[in-house]
A = this chain, B = another copy of it.
């Protein structure tokens, strides 16, 4: 089982990306969705991993920034 994290901030861009992408990911991927607006204690962790904007999907150590919702700086 591969673990992945989807970071978002609740904006429409993020929610739309989330719905589209998560729907089509392999069932072998276990995904944890983190709302950085509601869980600001995860911002430092996201930044350490390399998340520069949300929405972002982190999978196997690769950070995929999807579309452009908000820069990580705006969430601090």
- Interface residues of A, Cβ cutoff 8 Å to B: 2, 4, 16-17, 20-21, 24-29, 59-60, 62, 64-68
Contact = CB atoms under 8 A, between A and B. Distances in A.
Contact of A20 (B16, B24, B28, B62): B62
A18 to B, nearest CB: 10
Nearest to A21: B64
Q: Is the interface of A mostly helix, strand, loop or mixed?
A: strand
Top 5 closest pairs, chain A to chain B, by CB: A20-B62, A65-B67, A26-B26, A24-B26, A24-B29
A64 B66 contact: yes
Contacts of A24: 2, 4, 25-26, 28-29, 59
